[in-house]
Structure formats: structure tokens, C-alpha cells
Amino acid sequence: MRSSAVSAILLAAVILSGCSTSSGAEDVLTPVPSKETTNAIAKPSGPIPAAAVGDAAPQASPPQEALSWTGPVPEPQALVPAERPVGMPMPTERPVAMLMPANPGIDPDPGPKSPTRSRIYSHRFRDAKPINFGRTSPRKLAVHGVDVSRWQGEIDWETLRQQGANFVYIKATDGGDHLDPMFRKNWRRAKEAGLKHGAYHFFYWCRTAGEQADWFIRNVPKEANALPPVIDVEWNGESSCKRRISPARVREKMQVFMDKLERHYGQRPIIYTAPDFYRDNLKGQMLDYPFWLRSVAAHPSKVYPGRKWLFWQYSGSGLSDGVDGKIDLNVFNGSESDWHDWVASR
């Protein structure tokens, strides 16, 4: 009886030891994606890609990083993944990417055969709800473009470019775990069609800024000729996040996000915003950042007095061959030569 009992005890110990070593920490600490819905975007029908986006081979997910936030009050604990540290200190000086360096590195007049200059197509867009902008009509500016997301569906990019889309900003990410299901295809096809292209992120006020920056970086390729990344900041009544934080807190969170993107992509991010959000949070602020302004009823100088701007979104009801339904129309603030100089300067 004693020998049998000892054997039984030893056998049980071996079994318990095997069980304790077969389970890793990742089995119990894997974060569960949130069910956030932002920017009126429906939840994706398929799984969210876990690898970087682009033509490169998929890579393993990067190790979890500490997330940055500023201000005295952290995000609500219910929205912060367990076991994830917060509070990464911000550097005392943040790197600055010059928008227009003194020596852009190209001949000032390279001629039509220069590879640094792409053809500029005149706009042929129509508008379902046309606005008379008078003497300040965007049609008087030379370089027009569009922004797209999943809602434009399948796009004939070659036709869209010939209609006047000389550049495109493509919806990439929302918050900390949503990827636009058309981003990968739109990015690849726009590049193949020769459009100058960049990506934008819809900022979600109920997630930490560092977490959102990590998610954007994980999904948007670091491509030499891509346009600067864009942070889209606005109030959205259809979002599941109903928070209205203070203007100071808004700018703090934006700064964390933009600093991280600037360090990674080597370009200063562009701020996209709408009139009400600008009035509440950004008027007279962030003067060293380029702005992309939504103003569909009047020239930006009337809606955002005193604010310098790089891009103007002048219509949300544009119509174009190559796209089914409506599309946002935008214009660059300058001549064709200004456009080429700005593209080369990056």
C-alpha cells in the first residue's frame, strides 16, 4: 500500500508539472479587439490583418510597446487593455521635418522629361450639389485630388486619374483596431496608376494616442514617395465614443500621435479637420503644422480666418468617371510648379 501510494503521488506530480509548463503567458494575455465603430464606418466583415500592409511579405506582429499619453488623467480603465503599461514619457524636444527645405535636391526647371515631375491632369469632376464659390472657386487652382475609403467600392484608378485626380488620400485606420477593408487594394492600385498617394487615420477620442499611432504604423507602409500621413480630427455623432474632452487634452493627444508618426515616417503629419472641431479646439493653435480644411460652402479664408492651409476639401458630393456614387473633392493650395516643388521637398 505504501509503495503504491508513493508511486501515485509521483505520477500526479509529473502530470501537474507538465500542465504548468505547457501554457504560455500569451494564452491568457492576448488582448481582445474592441468593438468600436468610428467615422460612420461599418464593422469589417472579415478578420483584421495582423501583418503590415503593402506588397512585402507578412511579418510577425511586433512586440507590445508602452503606450504614450499626456495630461493628468489617463484613458478610462475599461478601454485600456490589461497588462499594457501606459505613461511613456515624451521627449523634451521632438524632431521637426522641414516642409520646404532650402535645397530640395532637384533642378528648379527639370523639364517635362524629368522623372521627378508627374503629369498634371485638368479636373473634369462634376458635383451633385454644386456651390458657387465666386472669384475664389477651387476650379481656379491647378492641382486637384480626391480622398477615398471603402464606401467608394471598386475604383477604376486609371480613369479616375485622367478625370483630374492628381493625388489621393486613402482611408487606412480608425482608433486602435480597425483597418479599412479596402485600404490594401486602394493603396496598391493608386500606386500602379501613378497617383501621388497617402493614408489618413480617423482619430478616436476613447483610445490612447500611442496605441492609435502604433496601429497606423503597423498597417501603413513606410514608402519613400508616399504623401505625408494625415490625422483626421473631428466630432462624430455616429461614433460609439461620445467623449468631448477639453481643448487642451485634445491637442495633447494629437501631439502624442503626430510625434510618433513623424519619428517613424520622417514627415510632418497633416491635420484634417472640420469647422466646428476647429473652432472648439484648434483656432490659433498648432501653427507649425500643415492643415487640410473641410469647407464645402465657402472659401477657407471665410471659415478659418487667418489659417494657412495646404489642402482644401471643397465638396463631399463630387461625381467622376471611374467611381460609382459620390466622392470627396480636394485641391492643393498653389500652382503646378508649387505642387512639384512641395512633392520634391519631402
**In this prediction, what percent of the chain has a pLDDT beyond 70?**
66
Tens-digit pLDDT profile for residues 264-299 = 999 999 999 999 999 999 999 999 999 999 999 999
Tens-digit pLDDT profile for residues 136-175 = 999 999 999 999 999 999 999 999 999 999 999 999 999 9
- CATH architecture of the domain with range 126-345: Alpha-Beta Barrel (3.20)
Residue 297 contacts residue 131 (beta carbons within 8 Å): yes
**Domain locations along the chain:** 126-345
Catalytic residue IDs: 234
Q: Which three cell numbers stand for residue 341?
A: 516643388
Identify the band that residue 229 occupies on the pLDDT scale cut at 50, 70 and 90.
very high
Total Cβ atoms within 10 A of residue 212:
26
CA 179, distance to chain mean position in Å, is 10
Q: What is the CA radius of gyration of the chain?
A: 24
Query: What's the pLDDT score for residue 116?
Result: 56
Q: Is pLDDT at 118 greater than 90 in this prediction?
A: no
User: Concatenated DSSP letters for 243-290?
Assistant: ----HHHHHHHHHHHHHHHHHHHSSPPEEEE-HHHIIIIITT--TTS-
**Length of the chain measured in residues:** 346
Mean pLDDT of the chain: 76
Whether the model clears a pTM of 0.75, i.e. scores above it, the answer is no
Q: Which three cell numbers stand for residue 6?
A: 508513493
